[in-house]
Structure 1
Amino acid sequence: MLEAPEALYISEQLNQTIKGKTISFVCAGYTPHKFAWFYGDPTNYPAMLTGKTVGEAHAYGGVIEIDIEDVRLLISDGTNIRYYAPGEKLPEKHQLLVAFEDESCLMGSVRMYAAIMCFPAGSFHCDYTPYREKAIRKPQVLSDAFDKTYFLSLINSEEKQKKTAKAFLATEQTIPGLGNGVLQDILFKARIHPKTRICTLSEKQKETLFHCVKDVFQEIYQAGGRNSETDLFGHRGRYIPFLSKDTAGKPCPVCGEDIRKESYLGGSIYYCVECQKINA
């Protein structure tokens, strides 16, 4: 699943690749997928998009949204989005195909679940609305607005004190685009166990956590994403996580203790029992 650093990287690739192109053909919902969510009837997307010129692509958390004249095309974090140059062979299965006058194409395919939504600018009302609004309204981690003062206002709020580190960072869109995939390395670098409660963290630990959030996001972005994800051209990211399914059971790179895997809050957590002790 794409997270914020990868969404930002791909949005910049989109601006370098398809911005200014005119759409000649659109197909949405071609391959049935029960966990692909569309805005309204996807058979209306060709009429909404064909003949229009692509504008700016934006990243809001793990969501990419593209301005296309008077409409918007939203692609959520569970979508593989690929660009195909003229003449390249296209996959047979897809949930979105946008072709341009130069015969290049943009294609989206849903993995586990995702939203692909085309809607009039300024008019977005569906179950996905609160998720989108939070992602747009809140400061993006790699922006100047996401500073230490802002982060401390989040982590020091009364409602967060009983939450664990994982629950604080990766649920309820406290930080849009920060999910389970990026979470593991942030907490490892901060030397904080995923189950540590926020109320037990010292001020120094909170500041360290802030810097680790910023640093890990920046490292992933500069590497073009994690090695489990692909960019607009199908290239795998160069960021290799310290903690993931690939390192579970292997020695910690710092102390040599085995990396543990555990189910927690609807997903897996990975941690080093020696480096990431739970606060008393």
Structure 2
Amino acid sequence: MIEIPEAESLSRQITEAVTGKRIAGVVAGLSPHKFAWYHGDPKDYDALLREKTIDTAVARGGMLEIRAGNAVLLFSDGVVLRFHTRDEQRPQKHQLLIEFEDATAISASVQMYGGLWCFKEGEFHNPYYDTARSKPSPLSDEFDKAYFDGLITSSDVQKLSAKAFLATEQRIPGLGNGVLQDILYKARVHPKRKVETLTEGERETLFNSVKSTLKEMTAQGGRDTEKDLFGEP
């Protein structure tokens, strides 16, 4: 499962590996997959992306957003991205293949389910994507103690467990069960503990654990249960 640390790591690797590269061609939907989600007709992806240059790659919660000119590529959890060198054989099965003019490439394959959306800015809306764009990442300075206090003191969350508070309703986009246990363990807060029973000190400790745990995981390239852009854990 791709969560904040993995999405951040992938965005950095994409930035280093393909920023500035010009797209030579795109193949989308080669291997049919019932739970591979596209925006519109995947056959249109080539026309939308061909001859455009990769500009930026950023994490949006647990999603990865890549921009190329006026086009946006968005990958959700469940999509495995791989970088391929010029001499490397391309996978026989994939849901998306982007070839660059220097003969390197990136492939995207869906495991159980996943989104591989390509669209012009403003033409696509997804509640998870829109929420992730509108809220600060826990890795950013905007996600400070005051912001966290606004979340945890809301009347809507007082009856929730600490686990439900952190990992449901997209309160913190990209924070899921994969990183949740480490955060709660380091904060010494039981997953079933009700938010309303947490002291001010415990809430501050939980905030610090969210920040430090995700920062540490991201610095390490994400959890070792997931593989990176180059197929390494």
Partner of 1:262: none
Match of 2:161 among 146, 161, 164: 164
Partner of 1:52: 52
Tell me the CA shift for residue 122 of structure 1. 2.2
Correspondence 1:68-217 to 2 at 5 A: 68-125=68-125, 129-217=126-214
Partner of 1:62: 62
Tell me the CA shift for residue 66 of structure 1. 0.8
Distance 2:95 2:193 in 1: 40
RMSD, aligned CA: 1.0
Partner of 1:17: 17
Distance 1:13 1:227 in 2: 16
Find the residue that maps to 1:98 and give its secondary structure. strand
Q: Deviations over 1:72-117 (max 9, x none)?
A: 0001122111111111122211111000011101111112221110
Residue 233 of structure 1 aligns with an amino acid whose one-letter code is: F
Tell me the CA shift for residue 133 of structure 1. 0.8
- How high is the TM-score relative to the length of structure 2? 0.97
Find the residue that maps to 2:32 and give its secondary structure. coil
Distance 2:165 2:171 in 1: 7
Residue 172 of structure 2 aligns with an amino acid whose one-letter code is: I
Asked which structure has the greater RCO (Cα within 8 Å, sep 6+), the reply is: 2
Distance 1:23 1:61 in 2: 26
Find the residue that maps to 1:55 and give its secondary structure. strand
Query: Which entry has the higher C-alpha Rg, 1 or 2?
Result: 1
Q: Could you tell me which runs of 5 or more consecutive residues in structure 1 were left unpaired when the two chains were aligned.
A: 237-280
Residue 205 of structure 1 aligns with an amino acid whose one-letter code is: E
- Does the Cα contact within 8 Å between 2:23 and 2:100 map onto a contact in 1? yes
Distance 1:144 1:172 in 2: 22
Distance 1:206 1:123 in 2: 39
Residue 124 of structure 2 aligns with an amino acid whose one-letter code is: F
- Does the Cα contact within 8 Å between 2:95 and 2:108 map onto a contact in 1? yes
Comparing 178-187 with 189-198, greater Cα deviation is found at: 189-198
- The structure where helix makes up a greater share of residues is 2
- How high is the TM-score relative to the length of structure 1? 0.81
Tell me the CA shift for residue 124 of structure 1. 1.4
Residue 131 of structure 1 aligns with an amino acid whose one-letter code is: Y
Q: Deviations over 1:96-145 (max 9, x none)?
A: 100001110111111222111000112214xxx22111001100110000
Distance 1:140 1:112 in 2: 26
Q: Deviations over 1:45-91 (max 9, x none)?
A: 11111111111111111111111101100011221111111111222
Runs of 4+ in 1 over 4 A off after TM superposition: none
Find the residue that maps to 1:168 and give its secondary structure. helix
Partner of 1:8: 8
Q: Could you tell me which runs of 5 or more consecutive residues in structure 2 were left unpaired when the two chains were aligned.
A: none
Partner of 1:241: none
Identity in percent: 52
